Chains A and B, each alone.
Chain A
């Protein structure tokens, strides 16, 4: 709902410690209530937020796999769970009926990025299934997901809800 999704790493950590003023919060909530009825950009940004959470999870799982901290079963289950999340977001965006040209554009861009995420997941899952040494490697999967993560972040910056 709120769009200041922090990025990974210490930069995100520092924004979390900031506290909003109560009055501002009430206003934001009211704005949210009145704007909740719909809006393509609102739905798109929620979908992008959910997706970037999923991609970030998958990257942690892959890194842990490379560090030997995670079992294959747990890593592949995590990827499955997060891919499901991406697919849910994608079908939400697909079902939107944008009213303006601008919104249609936003929808299309979001679908492109989500497809890129799904492709990243496909690479990562293939890497895990290839069981070491094969191609693609786990770090290839991580690279693909990193690319998708950057694309997500860029688009999130562009889609600002009213």
Chain B
């Protein structure tokens, strides 16, 4: 599948309850490099209940300036959370379903991991 199909797709829990839309897709480079770089492995989905527009970088912990812009963008993305690949039951271009008892993690990127 292609990533564009996934972004903005509605996300439901196991009972069909609406959780939000896919705001971003998180990958991790932790495999063995085949040639130049490791292939990015899908780590999980960032799900936003309010807006799926770009975070413009403000989901990174370090970015807090200018204050007003940071505040507005954070507010637009309030309630966003990360679910891991292990908690995803089904994926498609029209909907994503999570497994029962999935865990919501903070969507914030750790600055150190971001390099």
Direct contact of A and B (CB under 8 A): no
B-side interface residues toward A, CB under 8 Å?
Answer: none
